[in-house]
C-alpha cells in the first residue's frame, strides 16, 4: 500500500510534467524548422553561399531544446518522486495509526505538523483516538459499577432464599417483604439504566414546545404530593404565573419530580421544601430548596456523576441507585441548560434553562 500510493502519485506527477515538456519541445522544433524553411525559400540564391550556417544554427537550436527537455524530464522525475513521498508519508502514517486503533491500541497519536488539510486529518484522527479511549474507559467503569450495584441485592436475595429453603429462617410476611424491596430496587435500577442509555443514544430527541413553568410545576407537585403528605413534609410552590419557555414538557416534569423526590428522601419529617422560579435575561432560574440533611462540600462536585452516593446517604435504605441526578443532569443539558447544587440550611438545586 505504502509503495503503491507514492509510486502512483509520482507516476501521475511525472506523467503530466513529461507530456507538457514533450508537447512544448515538439512544437518548438516544428515551428523552428518551419521558419528556417521559409527563411531559406525567401532568401533563395543568396543563401546558397551560407547553407551550412543556417543548418548549424537550426541543429544547435533543436539540440539545445532536446537537451533542456531531457533535463526537465529528469528534474520532473526527481521532484515528482519527492513530492509524492511527501504527500503519501503522512497518509501512510495515519493508515498505520488507524490500523492500531482498530486493533484496540487507543493511546496512539499521529505526529501533526503544519496546518493544511492533511494536518487537520491527523488532528481529527488523534481526537477520534482520544474519544474512543474515553468511551472505552467509561464502558469499563460503567460495567464495573453496574456489576457492583447488582451484586449486593442479589447476594442478599440469594442468602435469604437459601435460608428459607433450608428451613433456617421462617418466611414471615416481613421477611418476604424485605426480599420484595430488594427486587423493587433492582427493577428501579434497571429502569433508570435503560433511561440513561436511551438519553445517550444518538436518536434521543426532545419534543420542545412553548410551556408554562407554572403548569409544569403544578403537575410535578401533584405527582409527589401524596408521598410528601405521608412523610409530613410541606411542599411550597412559589412559582409565579407568566414564566414560559421552550422545553419538552414531559422531560421537564421528570426533572422536577426527580429533584422533589430527592428533597423528600433527604429531608426529615416535619421539614419543608420550596420551589421557586424567576425570569432572568435569556433564561429561567428554577430553584428547589429543602430543609434536609444538606450536601457535604466534598460531595458537591460529584453528585451528578452516575452511581455517586453522598456520604450522608451511603446507607442503601436512604440512597437510591445513584442515577437520579445523572438523569436530571442529562435532561437539563439536552435543553441547553445548567444544573448545580449548593448546600445551605438543607440542599439547594438550581436549574437554569434557556427561554
**Which range of residues in 118-126, 203-211, 260-268, 278-286 is near ligand ADP by CB under 6 A?**
260-268
Angle formed by the axes of helices 117-166 and 51-102, nearest 10° = 10
Q: Does 220 bind ligand ADP (CB under 6 A)?
A: no
Chosen residue from 216, 303, 332, 353 binding ligand ADP by CB under 6 A? 303
Question: What residues contact residue 239 under an 8 Å CB cut-off, 6+ apart?
Answer: 213, 214, 217, 275, 276, 277, 286
Q: Does 347 bind ligand ADP (CB under 6 A)?
A: yes
How many residues are there in the chain?
A: 355
Nearest to ligand ADP of 129, 221 (CB atom)? 221
Nearest to ligand ADP of 129, 328 (CB atom)? 328
> Mask 311-340, x = binds ligand ADP (CB under 6 A)?
-xx-----xxxxxxxx--------------
Nearest to ligand ADP of 93, 272 (CB atom)? 272
Q: Residue 13: how many CB atoms within 10 A of its CB?
A: 19
Nearest to ligand ADP of 208, 231 (CB atom)? 231
Q: How many residues bind ligand ADP (CB under 6 A)?
A: 24
Cell of 22: 514533450
Cα 234 from Cα 20, distance rounded (Å): 89
Nearest to ligand ADP of 239, 325 (CB atom)? 325
Nearest to ligand ADP of 175, 312 (CB atom)? 312
Question: What residues contact residue 284 under an 8 Å CB cut-off, 6+ apart?
Answer: 213, 243, 245, 277, 278, 352, 353, 355
DSSP for 222-287 reads HHHHHHHHHTT-EEEE-PPTT-EEEE-HHHHHHHHHHHHHHHHHTS-TT-EEEEEEEE-SSEEEEE
Helix (H, G, I), strand (E, B) or coil at 348: strand
Chosen residue from 243, 310, 337, 353 binding ligand ADP by CB under 6 A? 310
**Which range of residues in 41-49, 116-124, 226-234, 261-269 is near ligand ADP by CB under 6 A?**
261-269
User: CA 220, 304, 289: angle at the middle one, nearest 5?
Assistant: 45
**Which range of residues in 29-37, 99-107, 243-251, 304-312 is near ligand ADP by CB under 6 A?**
304-312
Closest approach, Cβ 312 to ligand ADP, in A, equals 6
Helix (H, G, I), strand (E, B) or coil at 339: strand
> Mask 272-301, x = binds ligand ADP (CB under 6 A)?
------------------x-xxxx---x--
Question: What residues contact residue 187 under an 8 Å CB cut-off, 6+ apart?
Answer: none
Chosen residue from 110, 235, 239, 262 binding ligand ADP by CB under 6 A? 262
Closest approach, Cβ 175 to ligand ADP, in A, equals 25
- Which pairing describes strands 272-279 and 234-237: parallel, antiparallel, or unpaired? parallel
Q: Are 277 and 247 in contact (CB under 8 A)?
A: no
Residues in contact with ligand ADP by the rule CB under 6 A: 262-263, 266, 290, 292-295, 299, 303, 308-310, 312-313, 319-326, 347
Amino acid at each position: 500500500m505504502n509503495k503503491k500510493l507514492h509510486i502512483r502519485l509520482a507516476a501521475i506527477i511525472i506523467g503530466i510534467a513529461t507530456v507538457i515538456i514533450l508537447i512544448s519541445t515538439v512544437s518548438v522544433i516544428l515551428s523552428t524548422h518551419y521558419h528556417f524553411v521559409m527563411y531559406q525559400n525567401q532568401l533563395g540564391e543568396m543563401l546558397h553561399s551560407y547553407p551550412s550556417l543556417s543548418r548549424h544554427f537550426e541543429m544547435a537550436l533543436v539540440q539545445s531544446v532536446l537537451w533542456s527537455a531531457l533535463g526537465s524530464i529528469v528534474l520532473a522525475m526527481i521532484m515528482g518522486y519527492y513530492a509524492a513521498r511527501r504527500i503519501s508519508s503522512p497518509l501512510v502514517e495515519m493508515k498505520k495509526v488507524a490500523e492500531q486503533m482498530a486493533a484496540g491500541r487507543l493511546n496512539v497519536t499521529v505526529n501533526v505538523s503544519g496546518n493544511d488539510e492533511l494536518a487537520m486529518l491527523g488532528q481529527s484522527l488523534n481526537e477520534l483516538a482520544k474519544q474512543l479511549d474515553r468511551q472505552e474507559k467509561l464502558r469499563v467503569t460503567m460495567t464495573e459499577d453496574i456489576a457492583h450495584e447488582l451484586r449486593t441485592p442479589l447476594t442478599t436475595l440469594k442468602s435469604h432464599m437459601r435460608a428459607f429453603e433450608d428451613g433456617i429462617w421462617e418466611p414471615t410476611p416481613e421477611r418476604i417483604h424485605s426480599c420484595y424491596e430488594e427486587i423493587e430496587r433492582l427493577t428501579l435500577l434497571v429502569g433508570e439504566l435503560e433511561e440513561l442509555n436511551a438519553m445517550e443514544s444518538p436518536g434521543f430527541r426532545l419534543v420542545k414546545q412553548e410551556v408554562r413553568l407554572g403548569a409544569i410545576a403544578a403537575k410535578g407537585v401533584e405527582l409527589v404530593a401524596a408521598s410528601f403528605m405521608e412523610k409530613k413534609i410541606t411542599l411550597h410552590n412559589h412559582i409565579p404565573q407568566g414564566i414560559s419557555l421552550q422545553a419538552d414538557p414531559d422531560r421537564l416534569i421528570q426533572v422536577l419530580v426527580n429533584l422533589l423526590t430527592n428533597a423528600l428522601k433527604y429531608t426529615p419529617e416535619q421539614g419543608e421544601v420550596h420551589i421557586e422560579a424567576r425570569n432572568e435575561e435569556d433564561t429561567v432560574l428554577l430553584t428547589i430548596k429543602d430543609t434536609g440533611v444538606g450536601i457535604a462540600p466534598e460531595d458537591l462536585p460529584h453528585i451528578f456523576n452516575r452511581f455517586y452516593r453522598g456520604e450522608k446517604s451511603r446507607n442503601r435504605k436512604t440512597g437510591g441507585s445513584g442515577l437520579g441526578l445523572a438523569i436530571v443532569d442529562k435532561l437539563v443539558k439536552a435543553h441547553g441548560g445548567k444544573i448545580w447544587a449548593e448546600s445551605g440550611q438543607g440542599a439547594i438545586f438550581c436549574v437554569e434553562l434557556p427561554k
